[in-house]
Structure 1
Amino acid sequence: MATGPALFSDIGKKAKDLLTRDYITDHKFSVSTISATGVALTSTATKKGGLSTGDVGAVYKYNNILFDVKVDTESKIATTLTFTELVPSTKTIVSFKLPDFNSGKLDIQYFHNHATLTSAVALTQTPTVDLTATIGTPTFVIGAEAGYEQSSGRFTKYNAGISVNKPDSSASIILGDKGDAIKASFIHHLDESKKTAAVGEITRRFSLNENTFTVGGSYAVDSLTVVKAKLNNHGKLGAVLQHEILPKSLVTVSSELETNALDKTPKFGLALALKP
């Protein structure tokens, strides 16, 4: 693949991940193994409220093709095929779910030294088309995305964004929701491992005349333990404690509290991921 600007979906992703990843309110347990033939097998069980779900997945790579299959407790089969360099400088992704024959999707990504293009088409009788484009370098990216629904002849979305990236920091501005919202974010890493960082995000929604400001961060207590926290101007406080109990195996404890309504019961989440 060419070394160039990131995809549009990656604009602001670093800050978003730090503010959302691992902040869970359910109970999750997953076990991963690798067979002698190179197939990665994962079994996951999730309990949210009084509802329990689970799935079993397998990932296998053959030359430039990646096979990813998951079967859940409702016997639904989700399959994703990823072809790398099927055409030079491209990645082609085909996904579908069975028995839902209207869930098919074709995603083609093109990478250039100074630009990226993606096209995603829903494989249905009335397909929708999503297009994204970025130009720039790994340091500076400007891009846009649009979605078009053929059945109604209208645009389902049109957004634009800009990002400035450095080895230890990243800043981005995204105009989204058809121009109704603007989001600015900044993240700064304080160590080489990027486990200690500070992040800030502000969102302005014009139709509601509402601002949401969130600050957060992560701190590496030691080489095995990371704590995260975030707080927004509406009083929602979240915290995460993550510890590596075995190499690549993590236990994560998360909580969420409404500081403006202390009479509400805090939410707690627990996840255990065991990997070979």
Structure 2
Amino acid sequence: MGSSPAPFSDIGRRARDLLIKDFNYDQKILLSIPSSSGLGITASGVKRDDVFVGDISTQHKSGNTTVDLKVDTYSNVSTKVTLNDVFSSTKVAFGFSIPDHKSGKLEVHYAHPHAVINSSIGLNPSPLLDVAAAIGTKDIAIGGTVGFDTATSSFTKYDAGISLNKPDFSAAVILTDKGQTLKASYVHTINPFNGNEVGVEMIHRFSTYENSFSIGSSHRIDPLTAVKAKFFDNGKVAMLCQREWRPKSFVTVSAEYDSKSTKASPKLGLALALKP
């Protein structure tokens, strides 16, 4: 399925990775412990102001079955069971959370050489139905997503988008917020050997006639160190530096400054991702 289009959720992903991914203004830690037996454990925690929240998750793989289990600091337990290749190019997932008895959800994912369909439905008397589809190839794809509330017989969302992806650039246009917001993004790879990229995202809101944009870039100083910077039209500037201090373990420092605010202090964040 190497020629299959990416899922609809991946339209515009290269721009989001450049402008959003790894920017963090809290204190965050992630510990991942893989296992050759098919059982992996991941613990994560985030401190925002004086509040600390975290969770512990485990994943077990056996044949075509994957079981994910997560417990958070509020004693919520989430479980997801995924069955791969139930039918040709199809996988099915069932998930629920405790104590939320209305959280049950059934997901079906289908991949075709020229189409990808992801759907989910809540397992309760008044379920929410979501369907996302994309058609095309790995280079160009067009798709959309629809959310429907059976309790009110109304649409909760409907979005559409198109993307063009090449090794040296990626462009995407997405119509979201029930047709009220138009997002256009473009990312260009200047030098693939040092991870040097530049990108821009522009947003137009039809309801308020507001326009906004952000510009970002990334650069790899050496094989283990990468830096990013982004600028917003509202005067905010953000930067990050990420260092791989051991294989698959990263320390990331982020900062954001609002040049138009005389009272706001710069935001600082530290993230540690550890993998033994």
TM-score, with structure 1 as normaliser: 0.95
Is 1:74 aligned to 2:74, yes or no? Answer: yes
Q: Note the C-alpha offset of 1:121.
A: 0.7
Aligned mates of 2:152, 2:173 — CA distance in 1 = 30
Q: Note the C-alpha offset of 1:172.
A: 0.5
Aligned mates of 1:273, 1:10 — CA distance in 2 = 24
The aligned residue for residue 240 of structure 2 is 240
Aligned mates of 2:38, 2:147 — CA distance in 1 = 38
Q: Note the C-alpha offset of 1:259.
A: 1.2
1:3–1:112 CA contact under 8 A, matched in 2: no
The aligned residue for residue 210 of structure 1 is 210
Q: Partner amino acid for 1:181?
A: T
The aligned residue for residue 104 of structure 2 is 104
Aligned runs of 1:83-94 on 2, under 5 Å? 83-94=83-94
Number of equivalences: 276
TM-score, with structure 2 as normaliser: 0.95
2:38–2:62 CA contact under 8 A, matched in 1: no
Aligned mates of 2:5, 2:38 — CA distance in 1 = 32
1:2–1:89 CA contact under 8 A, matched in 2: no
The aligned residue for residue 146 of structure 1 is 146
1:144–1:161 CA contact under 8 A, matched in 2: yes
1:115–1:221 Cα change, 3 Å? same
Q: Over aligned residue pairs, what C-alpha RMSD do you find? A: 1.5
29-38 vs 163-172, which deviates more? Answer: 29-38
Is 1:135 aligned to 2:135, yes or no? Answer: yes
Aligned mates of 1:20, 1:123 — CA distance in 2 = 33
Is 1:38 aligned to 2:38, yes or no? Answer: yes
The aligned residue for residue 201 of structure 1 is 201
Aligned runs of 1:114-193 on 2, under 5 Å? 114-192=114-192
1:5–1:56 Cα change, 3 Å? same
Is 1:63 aligned to 2:63, yes or no? Answer: yes
Percent identical pairs in the alignment equals 43
Q: Note the C-alpha offset of 1:69.
A: 1.1
1:93–1:188 Cα change, 3 Å? farther
Aligned mates of 2:228, 2:64 — CA distance in 1 = 37
The aligned residue for residue 268 of structure 1 is 268
